[in-house]
Amino acid sequence: MKMILETKDARPHKNIDAAQCPGCPSNLATKLVMELVFQVCEERGQDPIIFGQGCGIGRDIMHRSGIGTHDSGAVGMHAAMEMRGIDRPIVVIDGDGQIDMGMDDLSGGFQYGAPYLHVVCDNQSFAASGTHATGMTDMFAKVSTRANGRIGGPDGRVQARKQPAMMVKFSGAHYSATASPAFFRDFERKINTALDNLPAFVQVFAPCTLSWGYDDQDSFSITKLGTDCGIWPLWEWADDTGFRRTHEFDESKMPDQLRAYLDMQRRYAHVTPDDVGEIERYVRDLNALVDKMTRSFQAPA
C-alpha cells in the first residue's frame, strides 16, 4: 500500500512504503505533517524539501527530490543550496530513537541557525530493531534491553525521560513544541507556527502498538489519554510569545486517567502500586515544571 499526496498537477509529494503496523500513530503523524507542510508552502509559492525516515515514518524514499538521509544532512544541504541561490524550505521527519542517535547533529544544526523544521515522531523506543530503550522511554516501561535492571528488561526503565524539546530551545531553536495527533487543531497550529519561526523543532507523541503492547484500534485512545493525564504535556516556546501550556492539566483527574493509560499497555503489566505512585509523582513534577516555565519564560515586553 502506498500513501500518496498529490498536487493539482498530480505530482506526488509523498510516497511512503506504508507497510507499517496497523493503527501506527507515527505513520498518521507523518501523513499530517506532510499534508500541512505542503499546504502551507503551496499557499506561499514555495516548494519544500522533506526528508527523514524511521519506524512508522517510512523506509522507502519519501518524495524529497531524491534525498534519503537523516537530520545530519540538513545543515550541509542548506549551505549548498545557499551557495547556489536556492531558497526552499527544509523539513526533516524522523523518529525511533533518532533524538539519541542524532542529538549532536540536531543541536549543532540549531546552533548553526540553519532555517529548517525538525519533526520527531517519538515512539519512546528503537522499535524497528527490537524495542530497545531510548532516552525518551518513560519510567517503568518495559523494553527488551537490560543493563543491571536500570534501563529495561523485567523491571522496566526507572529513570525519567529527557526533554529534548526544551534542550533544543537552548541550542538556538526559535520555536520548540510538543504535539499530539489526538489534538489536531493544536497540532496543525504548531506546524504552521514552526514554519514561520525557523529553525524550529516539534516533538510528536507517537505511541507504538508493538513495543507498547496495546490493541491496534486503541491508538487514538492511548494518544489522547497520554496527553490528558499529563505524562505528555503539550506546550510551545517561541522567541516572540514566550513559553506557554497549550492543553490544560487537571491534577484531580490525573490518577484515574493515568491508571487507565497504564492499564491499556502491556509494557506496564508488571508495575506495582508503589510503582504507580512513583509515576504519579513524576507526572506532577513534570507538569509543575511546565507551569514554572510558563511563569519564568514570559514573552518579552
Summarize pLDDT for 248-278 with one digit per residue, the tens. 999 999 999 999 999 999 999 989 999 999 9
Residue 72 has a pLDDT of 57
C-alpha 220 chain-centroid distance: 16
Residue 102 has a pLDDT of 65
Where in the chain are the domains? 15-296
User: How many CB atoms within 10 Å of residue 163?
Assistant: 16
CATH number, domain 15-296: 3.40.50.970
pTM check: above 0.75: yes
Residue 210 has a pLDDT of 85
Residue 186 has a pLDDT of 97
Residue 201 has a pLDDT of 94
User: Do 265 and 258 form a contact (C-beta atoms < 8 A)?
Assistant: no
Residue 197 has a pLDDT of 94
Residue 104 has a pLDDT of 66
Residue 207 has a pLDDT of 92
What strands, in cross-sheet order, belong to the sheet with 175-179? 49-51, 90-95, 116-122, 200-205, 175-179, 235-238, 242-245
Between CA 270 and CA 142 the distance in angstroms is: 8
User: Do 56 and 18 form a contact (C-beta atoms < 8 A)?
Assistant: no
Q: What is the DSSP letter of 58?
A: B
Residue 76 has a pLDDT of 78
Residue 145 has a pLDDT of 66
- The pLDDT averaged over each successive group of 10 residues in the chain (301 residues) is 44 50 80 87 86 65 44 74 87 77 72 86 78 81 62 59 87 94 95 94 92 89 96 95 95 97 93 93 96 88 65
Pure H helices in 140-183: 164-169
Cell 496495546 sits at which residue?
Answer: 214
